[in-house]
Amino acid sequence: MKNLPALVFLFLGLGFSACSNDALDKNHDSTNDTAASSTETAEEFVARANSELAEQLLEGNAAGWVFSTYITTDTSLLSAKANERYAAWFSGIVKQAAAYDGEELQPATRRAIDLLKLGTSQPAPDNAAKRRELSQIAARLEGDYGAGKYCKEAGDCKTLPELEDVLAESRDYDELLDAWAGWRTVSPPMRKPYERFVELLNEGAAELGYDDLGEMWRSGYDMSPAEFEADTARLWQQVKPLYDELHCHVRARLGEQYGTDKVPQDGPIPAHLLGNMWSQGWSFIYDIMEPYPSVAPLDVDKTLQAKNYTPKEMVRSAENFYVSLGMPQLPETFWERSMFSKPPDRDVVCHASAWNMDGADDVRIKMCIKQTYDELRTIYHELGHNYYQRAYRDQPPIFRDGANGGFHEAIGDTITLSMTPGYLAQVGLIESDAESREAVINRQMMQALDKLAFLPFGKLIDEWRWGVFSGAIAPADYNKSWWELRTKYQGIAAPLPRSESDFDPGAKYHIAANVSYTRYFVAHILQFQFQRALCKAAGFDGELQACSIFQSKEAGTRLQAMLEAGASKPWQDTLETLTGTREMDASAIIDYFQPLMGYLKEQNEGRSCGW
């Protein structure tokens, strides 16, 4: 997973990428600062805000789409101007919404006003000079990250994708160390601007009624910020025993690969050995971790290439899955207006994303599709966004979003869990669905290295920022606190001495771009909970890892009912529609990975686990 900027015009769920939902709110000078009319009721204000928002999104999405699919100086200017107009409108409408603070309102009206105020991850101070300063710092941080290169010497420079390839492919300890440390030479210049960035963001959040930006972010989950923080801690404790078993086994295998002098068997794992620049997903070291190398892997790539699937045919495969659940076919405009391949004559943003251009039927995806199983799973994921967008299209614009930050990402990932060998054989993507126990363990190891390994990382990113925004983590301790959290949750450590002259958090895009990250943690929990509920609705009886809801109208009906609600109700109500419970529950992950858990416990017998 490469976390690149989505470069799309985003607000309240419009424009979703496979790996990041990066809001481009630039907080330019407001030209719409008038107060709400004293004769305008709260209901009338919300109706007007919805109408104006719909118009803002039409222009913004059109400009963003053209820029992403036809990158020129001119389209960049048009997209920036559309964002600037939106930022001005947003600043004004939020100021007007404050007129209704403290009023007793109908629940739907109060919810709409509260969601409207939470519609940016980057609140700007109500001061033209400070808004401009915030915008300039934001552009600098993203620009420094995007243009970052590691130059060993003159003429020998590597970009982030090139350095990521080294982390994924090399098995030379020193080469990995060089690439890991090299990328972290990009972020130290961000440190001082980031300190000021935090001050300005907190000032903007305070003007909206929050103690700091972290509290504002945590307020978007239909519970108090303290309750949400406690809930994420509870979810982590549910999955930690399984993560600890995986960590123990990975550390042992890495010790065999590189030597226990380099990978001590009683401490954290050196961060550069896990196949990913940020150690957030470990799937690229599957060759080291493969439980049963003699078992032939699922070779969907071979089928896609042998049958010469076109990009559109791969997308049709994904559409057929959703249609099998009773959902409608995608509109003809989807096929006419989406970008499925990289055009040969121009620069585009290939990073996969799903768009709803008009809040109704004009849904699209943007990808540069290749004939691989990874790409196919990404397509199934992106269509999850599109089907969610179509399901809640009858909601007012403010409610056209996922029930909480994690729901939108979880839908497509839930569907990919149903891409089992049985399903792949049924639709002709592999020859046989016969799967030995060894093959199950292999497949689950690959999934765990991706999904399970991500969970502690997904949690700690915002936990660090919550501390930074609240002041619990002082600027003088930015790097120290970063590595304390990474060791606490992930059981990894920096492979080289780090100091406060470094700024390792800034080497992660979502820190530089100020994109809230907890939704990815939540999505990784919810997708398994959704899958367990859908499999039950489908009448499946067996191990959860073997369940596919393909062709289950019963599961589709339950899923569609949840999707249609959008953000119109507290997520607890929406979750109950599908699962029958009002709490997020990570026990479904334990259920799903039961076969692997048994294997890991056997492998770890006699080992000293923990760090």
d(CA 606, CA 549): 39
Residue 336: helix, strand or coil by DSSP? helix
Among the options 215, 409, 435, 463, which is catalytic? Answer: 409
Assess whether 352 carries a catalytic annotation.
yes
Q: Tokens in use for 558?
A: 């339950």
Residue 152: helix, strand or coil by DSSP? strand
Assess whether 162 carries a catalytic annotation.
no
Q: Tokens in use for 527?
A: 């997708």
Going by their DSSP bridges, the two strands 156-159 and 149-153 should be labelled as antiparallel
Burial-class residue 415 by CB neighbours within 10 Å (0-12, 13-18, 19+).
buried
Q: Tokens in use for 469?
A: 């925004």
d(CA 220, CA 226): 12
Output the DSSP codes for 42-90. HHHHHHHHHHHHHHHHHHHHHHHHHHHHS--HHHHHHHHHHHHHHHHHH
Assess whether 520 carries a catalytic annotation.
yes
Among the options 381, 478, 517, 523, which is catalytic? Answer: 381
Q: Angle formed by the axes of helices 518-537 and 571-579, to 10°? A: 30
Assess whether 249 carries a catalytic annotation.
no
CB 334 within 8 A of CB 386: yes
Q: Long-range pairs for 23-26 at CB < 8 Å and ≥24 separation?
A: 23/120, 23/121, 23/122, 23/515, 24/64, 24/83, 25/83, 25/86, 25/87, 25/90, 25/120, 25/121, 25/122, 26/80, 26/83, 26/84, 26/87, 26/135, 26/138, 26/139
Among the options 229, 245, 319, 382, which is catalytic? Answer: 382
d(CA 459, CA 328): 36
Among the options 247, 272, 351, 408, which is catalytic? Answer: 351
Report helix, strand and coil shares of the chain as percent, to nearest 5: 60, 5, 35
Among the options 247, 249, 272, 385, which is catalytic? Answer: 385
Whose tokens are 């970009």? That residue is 159
Among the options 145, 322, 520, 599, which is catalytic? Answer: 520
Assess whether 351 carries a catalytic annotation.
yes
d(CA 483, CA 492): 9
Residue 151: helix, strand or coil by DSSP? strand
Assess whether 382 carries a catalytic annotation.
yes
Among the options 352, 537, 565, 567, which is catalytic? Answer: 352
CA distances from 55 to 75, 177, 392 (A): 20, 50, 18
CB 359 within 8 A of CB 350: no
Assess whether 272 carries a catalytic annotation.
no
Whose tokens are 């949400």? That residue is 228
Among the options 510, 513, 524, 599, which is catalytic? Answer: 510
Q: Long-range pairs for 96-102 at CB < 8 Å and ≥24 separation?
A: 96/34, 96/35, 96/36, 96/45, 97/36, 97/45, 97/49, 98/208, 98/209, 99/35, 99/36, 99/45, 100/36, 100/42, 100/45, 101/209
* Active centre residues (catalytic): 351-352, 381-382, 385, 409, 510, 520
